[in-house]
Amino acid sequence: MNKRGSPTLRVVVASETPEVRDQITRVVEREPGVRVVGQAHNSIEAMTKAKDLRPEVTVVDPYLPYLFGLDDVPLSRMSGLDTATGVTGELPGAMAVLLSNPNPALRERGPEAVAHLGRYSGDFWVPLRLRDLQAEANPKDRVVFADVWAEETQASHSKAMELSYQLVVWGGLSLVAGFALMLTWIMVFIGLPLAGGGLVAILLGLVIKGVASRFSSPIPRAETTEE
């Protein structure tokens, strides 16, 4: 049970790469009331963990390998889709989330990446909440496709906001100075381009601020959950 009294949503994460598994774990556990109870590095281990731990949701890397034999040598690669459908087949009522390709999105920015799950609804990308996903589950379609979106780090966000502030300030000063020069009529040929440049700088600063606020803000951390 979590702090709000509702049952903790149990999740198993399956990916060949340890870094990606850890990143996906952090992404998943940002959602309140969700806890990763196991990780798997191939499809066989994913099926075993699912049977043993009985999670409500299993998050699967599409390139999860299938290992055959006692020597642990990869002879073939089993599609993550096969693993996802296998887990939902073994666990009635369980859901599986098949990620499109989490590796590039998470590897490019490393452990500092701020990322979360989402999926497209028409032309719009919307966040994916695992608890909502379980509530709206269709018994005939329990494998859901999703993406991992890695956002900029807080440091990058701060730099963008600082640049935006500087552009607006210097643009405002240039705009005022340009108008002042145009009032003299004699210096209008200098004041006009100066005011125009100031206006462009202000607009550019506002655009940078809007983009940084929309795409680079860190998402809230999940509350600590308890059994």
- pLDDT tens-digit profile of 107-125? 555 555 567 788 777 666 6
pLDDT score for 56: 93
Computed over every residue of the chain, the mean pLDDT equals 77
Comparison of pLDDT for 225 and 25, the residue scoring more: 25
pLDDT score for 14: 94
Contact 176, 206 (CB under 8 A): no
pLDDT score for 118: 80
Quick check: 216 pLDDT over 50? no
Place of tokens 């990916």: 15
pTM check: above 0.75 = no
Residues 6+ apart with CB under 8 A from 189: none
Query: Which tens digits make up the pLDDT trace of 141-167?
Result: 788 888 877 665 445 656 777 888 898
Quick check: 220 pLDDT over 50? no
Question: Rounded CA gap, 41 and 36, in Å?
Answer: 14
> What is the per-residue DSSP string for 54-70?
--SEEEE-TT--B--ST
pLDDT score for 12: 96
pLDDT score for 186: 75
* Percent of the residues in the chain that have a pLDDT greater than 70, as a whole number: 70
What average pLDDT does this structure show over 59-69? Answer: 76
Contact 94, 46 (CB under 8 A): no
